[in-house]
A and B are shown apart, each in its own frame.
Chain A
């Protein structure tokens, strides 16, 4: 039976008991979701690499110290660690990703920050980069929920726990994220090629 058939929990147990290759399988299995979630929040590949490594250093230390409880799922736990490291980074840098306290935020309040050259570029560029730019424009809380839901595949309850809000707030932020993305796309007359 190959590692690929093992559950995350089984791999964690193997790793705790000294099987280093089990960690490699866990990383291989989840690296895309974890790294993408971090990258879309920090918008910098090199920084995302650093935070990705720091995330797993914390994971390793906790597992090897015997402090991992078996109740939580592995991926949500790792995403929480990564998310907290992103928050720590922004606090250190004394800047916030975008506007905070964004419930009820209307994208048209900030859409005017586009200058004409960027607008022309976006209209002309019919690539997936358009969507990435739009995601970056979302307020941090809405972007967070969208990223955690889509890339992290977390439930709204897990997202609510991770971001310390109610489930209703997490759901509401997802709605706002989708509606704001849609408004921006309509405003910029963007269509995405699937």
Chain B
């Protein structure tokens, strides 16, 4: 199914660039919920191993 946007280009531009609190598509409870889990989402951030990064940099130097 092809979805078409019913919003004007200005609405879409606003949605693209501004925080979710300004997106008219999200209601207050959805924005509030997202804000409530942001800190826990941030706790899921992980990093690659130093070994991976060394491999990448070694590769770059080799070519």
Contacts and interface: CB of A to CB of B under 8 A. Distances in A.
A172 B3 CA distance: 11
A194 B40 contact: yes
Nearest to A21: B57
Interface string A140-168: 00000000001100011110000001111
Interface of A: 20, 23-24, 27, 31-33, 35-36, 39-40, 45, 48-49, 52-53, 56-57, 60-61, 64, 128, 131-132, 135, 150-151, 155-158, 165-169, 171-172, 174-175, 178-179, 181-182, 192-194
Interface residues of B, number: 38
A166 B5 contact: yes
B23 A35 contact: no
Interface in B28-63: 30, 33-34, 36-41, 43-49, 52-53, 55-57, 59-61, 63
Contacts of A156: 15-16, 23
A150 B16 contact: no
B25 A175 contact: yes
Contacts of B23: 156, 171
Contacts of B45: 32-33, 36, 151
B60 to A, nearest CB: 5
Interface centre among B2, B43, B44 (most CB of A within 10 A): B44
Nearest to A23: B60
